[in-house]
Structure 1
Amino acid sequence: MRTASCSCGQLQIEVNGEPRGVGVCHCFACQQRTGSVFAALASFNVPYKVSGTATEYLRTGDQGAQFLFRFCPICGTSLYHTEIGYDDKVSIAVGAFADPSFPAPTASIYDVRRHTWVQLPHGTKTFSKDP
C-alpha cells in the first residue's frame, strides 16, 4: 500500500501495488497547474481510497480528453486526477508520496514543450504530444 498526501495532510489517497506507469508531462496546462516546469505522475489501478475533502476542476485536453483534477481546498495541493471514461485507473502526483525511492519516469509527454535544461532519465520514451 502507498499513501500520498497534500501539503497540509487534510487530503490523502491510498493505492495498492506498483504503479501502472510513471511519467512526466510538459504541457502548458500541467506547468501552470503545478507551478513547475512539468508534472510527475504515477498511474495506479483501482481500487483507491480517498480521505479528506477535495475540490474538483474539470479540464479538457488538447485532443478532447477530459480530466477531473482533485486538489486540497486548504493548502491547494493538486493531488490526483482521473480521466472521464477511464474508471480503471487514477493518476497521482509523484511528489505527494514523499518517497525519494519512488520509481523514475519511463515516459515523457508533450516533450515539444519541455524546457531545454530539463534532463530525463536514460531510456525515457518521449512523445512530442499526448500519445
Structure 2
Amino acid sequence: MSCRKRTGSVLSTQARFLCSDVTFEGSTHSYRRCSEDGAEIIFDFCPACGSTIKYRHSALVDQVIIPLGVIDQTELWQPSAAIYNDRRPAWLPHNEHIEWID
C-alpha cells in the first residue's frame, strides 16, 4: 500500500536497468523506507517538483528502477511482468501476455 500512496495511483509502471547502463545528471533528494518484506528502498526525487526520478531496492543491488513517467519515450518498452497480482483491483484488466506475480 505504501507504493500506492507514494504514486497516488493503484498502479506504478517502471523499468529496471543495470546500474552500469544508466547515468543521471542533476541533483536529487532521497528518502528511505522499508518494504513489507523488510528490504530497504531508497527513493531519489526531484527537489523542485517532488517526482520520483529513480529508486533502488536492497534485494536488487545491481539494478536501478526508473518510473516510466519520467521517461519521454515510454513506447520503447512493453510490460513483461506485473507484481502484486493478489492486490490488483477487480476493475483492472488481466493481461494474458505478461507474467503475473502475487
Instruction: Give 5+ residue unaligned stretches, structure 1.
Output: 1-27
Return the letter of the residue paired with 1:96.
Answer: V
Aligned to 1:61: 35
- CA RMSD in angstroms comes to 1.6
* C-alpha contact (below 8 Å) 1:104/1:121 kept by paired residues: no
- Aligned with 2:8 (options 20, 35, 52): 35
Measure how far apart 1:46 and its partner are.
2.1
Structure with a larger share of its residues in helix: 2
Aligned to 1:15: none
CA gap of 1:85–1:123, structure 2 versus 1, over 3 A, is closer
Aligned to 1:103: 77
Q: So what's the TM-score if we normalise by structure 2? A: 0.86
Aligned to 2:65: 91
Give the ranges of 4+ consecutive aligned residues of structure 1 lying more than 4 Å apart after TM superposition: none
Structure with a larger share of its residues in strand: 1
Task: Please give the secondary structure, in 2, of the residue aligned with 1:58.
Answer: strand
**Cα distance between partner residues in 1 of 2:73 and 2:67:** 12
Measure how far apart 1:64 and its partner are.
1.1
Q: So what's the TM-score if we normalise by structure 1? A: 0.69
Q: Percent identity?
A: 30
CA gap of 1:46–1:114, structure 2 versus 1, over 3 A, is same
**Cα distance between partner residues in 2 of 1:85 and 1:111:** 20
**Cα distance between partner residues in 1 of 2:75 and 2:14:** 15
Measure how far apart 1:45 and its partner are.
0.8
Instruction: Work out which structure has the larger RCO, using CA pairs closer than 8 Å and 6 or more positions apart in sequence.
Output: 1
**Cα distance between partner residues in 1 of 2:27 and 2:93:** 35
- How many residues of Structure 1 are paired with residues of Structure 2 in the alignment? 101
5 Å-filtered alignment, 1:73-84, equals 73-84=47-58
* C-alpha contact (below 8 Å) 2:42/2:55 kept by paired residues: yes
